[in-house]
Amino acid sequence: MNISNPVSSEVTGVNFTFLCKDDITKLSVKQVVNPATFETVIPGNVPVPVVGGLYDPALGASDALRQRCLTCHLDYKYCPGHVGHISLPVPVYHPLFFDQMLKMLRSSCLYCFHFRMARAEVNRFECKLKLIQYGLLVEAAELDDIHPNTRGEEEGEEGEFSGSTEMEAFYAKREKFVARAIRRHLRSGGLDEGKVMSVAEERRKVVKEFLSTIQFPRKCNRCQAISPGFRKDGYSKIFEVPLTPKAQSQNVQYGFQRPNAAMMQKKPNRLPETKNHDLNRKGAAGRLLHSMEVLNNLSRLFEKEREILQLLYQPREAISKTPKPLTPEMFFIHAIAVPPTKFRPPQAAGGEISESATNKQLVKILQGCLAIRDYNDKFNNPEIEAGAKTVIISKLMQAFVTLQDDVNSFLDSSKSPLTGAAARTLEEGIKQKLEKKEGLFRMNMMGKRVNFAARSVISPDPNIETREIGVPPVFASKLTYPEPVTEINHQWLMRLRIHLSKTLLTPDALSLSDSKSKRVHRHLLNGDVVLMNRTYDPYALRQL
């Protein structure tokens, strides 16, 4: 970088997103399809990796296997490693976003594919999120004071005013207020995005309120249809709870006919389809939903409620001139990225070479993919009888659940259905490996457990200045600072002592010293000077 040249551009923000199947495929150099890792192993000889396996030479060089990389043609000292991928035959639920996906499914109407919540409430949250995106907190609070000019007729069953003309005028009034506030804010030179902690906190509150509100109505406020409920079994199964006879008769009386989600796929589906009479099948446990059916239902919801969901999940794209289309693909996994060979090195024990423990879960995923493809081919065989197809469907659904459990264990071992001794022998998931540092460094002072020092990790944060450092809440609520009592701050410290603020004082803060100069031990506050004791390195360029 030549510092003599003027800087013509700057980084104004950082955006995080999810890797879809296309992104993983572009990063990958090889598709892993073979669950077998080595050829026939001869004792005393170096095992030969299987082509298309987890130790394929295209994924990187290995010293233990004495192989060069077929991608960059370098040896193990210089090869950086290359990512592979496993293509799943069916989409599986993302275990980290399973609960939020279930909220979206429970809040949607399965007849009109809108949110069951009243349209006026959806519009209110949409306008609030638009204002908060520009940091307009005052205008977001004033939005609740905007009401329709006339009530028109009495409120109907849908919870909105019956006069559609009055409601459309009401929505236009809100939108006009939002557009005027944003235009005035940009004209005054304000930021186009809120980068203040208060803005981020207010957005979290609005999102939390929205996610908790959309689940309440059982009857749709748009079409008046009653949709069935859903329940989960762990993090691998979603069951559809059947409607009561009264709700079913009401839907039939109004002429509601539920679309078949299995028939709404844009791509041809070779998997067994759900029959129409199975949609309302009664049963105590309910009907087990296929992940493809859940994906189709959510896809229709994301099409109908694109504006509010864009603000919820892609706020930067929502205010751009050419926003990218939003889909529920983030809740599903279509491909698994396989780490390079150098991050899964073979283990040598007793003169024998065995594969890494990380490969165990990947091998199970590959075996599950092959089992699903085999059952699917048998089902599509025209020579199979109807009775045999019923057995195949049962085995196929069980294979779906097994694949889901294997993917959950690979990403997050805490979401595995195994319990007891079997869970303790399970290999750690990716989430557990990333969180291991929390117990090793952050929470363990190694003999320095005092109230004036702590060990933490310095990480970049877009909400603070470069001269500032963020302190985790677990430390900020325990660290104390001896504040001297002076004429300037004694009133403030007295109020803290009387009210004993949980965010600023701890019970030991009341133990004042007996010296002439009194001190109050308070918690950390914004602006406190922190003494950093750290060896200089390229990753920490500042030292206070």
Give one DSSP letter per residue of 521-537, joined into a string: EE---TT---------B
In a domain, 514, yes or no: no
Asked if 192 and 299 sit in the same domain, the reply is yes
pLDDT score recorded for residue 159: 43
Give all strands (DSSP E) within 40-170, no chain letters: 84-93
Strand 519-522 and strand 481-484: the pairing is: antiparallel
**Phi and psi at residue 97, to the nearest 5°:** -120, 20
Q: Which of 411, 444, 477 is a domain's end point?
A: 444
| Same-domain check for residues 249 and 278 | yes
Residue 46 shares a structural domain with residue 111: no
Do both 99 and 194 map to the same domain? Answer: yes
Q: Which tens digits make up the pLDDT trace of 72-99?
A: 999 888 999 999 999 999 999 999 999 9
* d(C-alpha 152, C-alpha 156), whole Å: 11
- The residues pairing with 24 across neighbouring beta strands, listed in sequence order, are none
Instruction: Judge whether 267 lies within some domain.
Output: yes
Check whether residue 106 and residue 220 sit in a common domain.
yes
Q: Which residues of the chain have pLDDT under 70?
A: 1-4, 41-44, 149-163, 190-195, 261-285, 318-322, 437-460, 497-517, 533-544
> Which pLDDT score, from 0 to 100, does residue 157 have?
42
Q: Residue 460: its pLDDT value, please? A: 66
Long-range residue pairs from 49-54, CB within 8 A, at least 24 positions apart, any chain: 54/84, 54/338, 54/344, 54/355, 54/359, 54/362, 54/363
Q: Does some domain include residue 450? A: no
Q: Does residue 38 sit in the same domain as residue 136?
A: no
Last residue of a domain, which of 410, 429, 444? 444
Residue 414 lies in a domain: yes
Give yes or no: residues 306 and 392 share one domain. no
Are 57 and 33 spatial neighbours (Cβ–Cβ below 8 Å)? no
How many domains are contained in the chain?
Answer: 3
DSSP 215-283: TS-SB-TTT--B--EEEEETTTEEEEEPPPHHHHHHHHHTT-----GGG--SSPP-SPPPPGGGTT---
Does any domain span residue 515?
A: no
Q: How far is CA 176 from CA 146, 181, 182, 307, in A?
A: 11, 9, 10, 16
Query: Hey, is 176 helix, strand or coil?
Result: helix
Tell me if 383 is assigned to some domain.
yes
Residue 124 included in any domain = yes
Residues 352 and 308 in one domain: no
Q: Which residues contact 428 (CB under 8 A, 6 or more apart)?
A: 413, 436
Expressed as residue numbers, the domain containing 63 is 14-83+339-356
203 and 286: one domain? yes
192/312 same-domain check: yes
pTM: 0.75
The upper half-sphere exposure of residue 541, i.e. CA atoms within 13 Å in the direction of its Cβ, equals 4
Q: Which of 403, 423, 444 is the last residue of a domain?
A: 444
Pair (180, 317) in one structural domain: yes
Are 255 and 315 found together in one domain? yes
* pLDDT at residue 104, as a whole number: 93
How many Å apart are CA 461 and CA 454, to the nearest integer? 19
* Within-domain flag for 509: no
Distance CA 509, CA 505 (A): 6
